[in-house]
Amino acid sequence: MRLAGEFGQLEVRIAHKVFTSASGERFEVLRNIQFRLGRNEVAALVGPSGCGKTTILRIIAGLENDFEGTIGRPLSGKLGMVFQEPRLLPWRTVEDNVGLVAPSITRETLASLLKDLDLEAHRGHYPGELSLGLARRVALARALAVEPTLLLLDEPLVSLDEALALRLRDQLAALIESRPITTLLVTHDLEEAVRLANRIFLLSARPAQIVAEIPLNTPRSARSEREVARIIGEIASRMNDRSS
Amino acid sequence: MARLISLTLLLGTWWLVSLLVGPQMLPGPEKVLGAIVAHARTGDLFFQLGVTLARVLAAFTIAMVAGTAIGLLMGRVELANRIGDPWLIVLLNLPALVIVVLAFIWGGLTEIAGVLAVAINKLPNTVVTVREGARALDSGLDEMARVFALPRRKYMWHVVLPQLGPYLAAAGRSGLSLVWKIVLIVELLGRPNGIGFQIGVAFQLFDVTLILAYALAFVAVILVIETAVVQPIERRASRWRIRTT
């Protein structure tokens, strides 16, 4: 069921999500996932791969309707989403891919968005001519072009080389910082979560449940290397405690 | 270059065979060309070509539009596929001649009955091809369109149609040649003009020159359509593909 949440809020209450495999076997993927995000909050869902993180995003995005529970999405405004694969239209240029979902975007806004993501030189290119890193940035530009109130990111930096991932991560941080967006990020990379989020939800293996919630109170830009390393260590040891 | 040699070889063979069997059975290329020019001078050739071409385009358009709509529906909605499939099999296996004759009996010897008979002949073919295309649509892009709430028209135009492109091109290519062959049967059986009617007259007079003149003139028209219309459209639609390789 999908309800309109309070202004600018995302409210997730998933009691159960069950998948039926091709052979008719039923297995539970999610159990009792509940959280609420306020306006401007950035949360990260972190957990072992295959635990059902993407399913949570898909339920929130309205792509999975067969579950027990309710989702309250921000009352007004649009949804922006970055899928794990860029999912661009191969037969449209970069500019058209971004402009298509946001018909009311002005030329200037579009240009400045492409500039923010270093895509100016590629606006006339087709997705087949782009590297994965570039395509990811286009997907991000598309999600931001609709001026979303809710932004869902599914492993936006996965399988990029480290230098590129770092750069894109900083760009991403700057972009969500400058906009009134509620952001939910799915990742298996702790550092990514700690750098970007102000709340982290740790998920268990299947069926995924929230095993811990970690608030990060220092503002994103003020987090020092040492602090980030300390938090990562803390979370990692907690995760190890659980699995041992 | 290879094309030119091959074409010369074809003309040469034609000319040689015509010498062997005599101009009664197979007139040489120069005689057929002469007949084409003579009929073109009187304007008769262009009139008959125009009439036939109009029927071809009408039937082709109806079959492609209706076939694409039905094929999309059957490819995406399982229930529609189950309901439509037996009809499709019946239509696919009805001989063109049967459809044409029945159309003229039920609809009278009218233009509408003739054009519809041709369209119905082409329709199942388009449906089958487009259904295959609709089944192969990328679900990832569908989900993207849903998440970003793309309006229906934009979704069709920017997401679905480009994916159907190769299937539509295949249906169109085979369609144009199929349609013009059936239009000739329709004209032979129940229309007072067009290439098919003229070939019927020539058949009664045993005038092989006239038969070849009309047939080749129309093939030339189709060739022009192919190079001047179909190929540029295809090039434009696959711009993004050429540049990636």
> Residue B130: what pLDDT?
94
**Which residues in chain B are closer than 8 Å to A87, comparing Cβ atoms?**
140-141, 143-144
Nearest residue, CB atoms, A128 vs list B141, B146, B240: B240
The Cα diameter of chain B in Å comes to: 71
A151 to chain B, closest Cα gap in Å: 11
Res. A241: pLDDT tops 80? no
Which residue of chain A has the CA closest to B139?
A87
- Are A16 and A67 within 8 A, CB to CB? yes
A244 or A213: which leads in pLDDT: A213
Contact B244 A85 (CB under 8 A): no
**What's the whole-number mean pLDDT along residues B63-77?**
94
Show the tokens assigned to A108: 């200037």
What's the N-to-C CA distance of chain A in angstroms?
37
> Residue A7: what pLDDT?
54
Contact A79 B147 (CB under 8 A): yes
Which residue of chain A has the CA closest to B163?
A91
**What's the whole-number mean pLDDT along residues B226-238?**
81
The interface predicted TM-score of the complex, written ipTM, equals 0.84
**What's the whole-number mean pLDDT along residues B213-230?**
87
β-strand partners of A203: A210
* pLDDT-derived band at B141, boundaries 50, 70, 90: very high
**Which residues in chain B are closer than 8 Å to A91, comparing Cβ atoms?**
162, 237, 239-241
Nearest residue, CB atoms, B140 vs list A61, A85, A129: A85
Q: What is the pLDDT of residues A103-153, one digit of tens each?
A: 888 888 888 888 888 888 998 899 988 888 889 889 989 998 888 888 999
**Which residues in chain A are closer than 8 Å to B159, comparing Cβ atoms?**
89
Q: What is the pLDDT of residues B155-205, one digit of tens each?
A: 999 999 999 988 998 898 888 888 989 999 999 998 889 999 999 999 999
Average pLDDT, chain B: 90
> Residue B244: what pLDDT?
45
Nearest residue, CB atoms, B141 vs list A61, A78, A89: A89
Which residue of chain A has the CA closest to B162?
A91
Q: Which of B138, B143, B144, B146 to mutate to test the interface with A (most CBs of A within 10 A)?
A: B144
Contact A92 B144 (CB under 8 A): no
Residues 6+ apart with CB under 8 A from A8: A38, A39, A40, A74, A75, A77, A149, A180, A182
**Which residues in chain B are closer than 8 Å to A85, comparing Cβ atoms?**
140
Residues 6+ apart with CB under 8 A from A3: A11, A70, A71, A72, A73
Separation of alpha carbons A61 and A78, rounded Å: 11
Which residue of chain A has the CA closest to B147?
A61
A232 to chain B, closest Cα gap in Å: 33
Domains assigned to chain B: 33-239 (1.10.3720.10)
Separation of alpha carbons B167 and B156, rounded Å: 15
CA atoms within 13 A on the CB side of A137: 27
Q: Does A128 touch chain B (CB under 8 A)?
A: yes
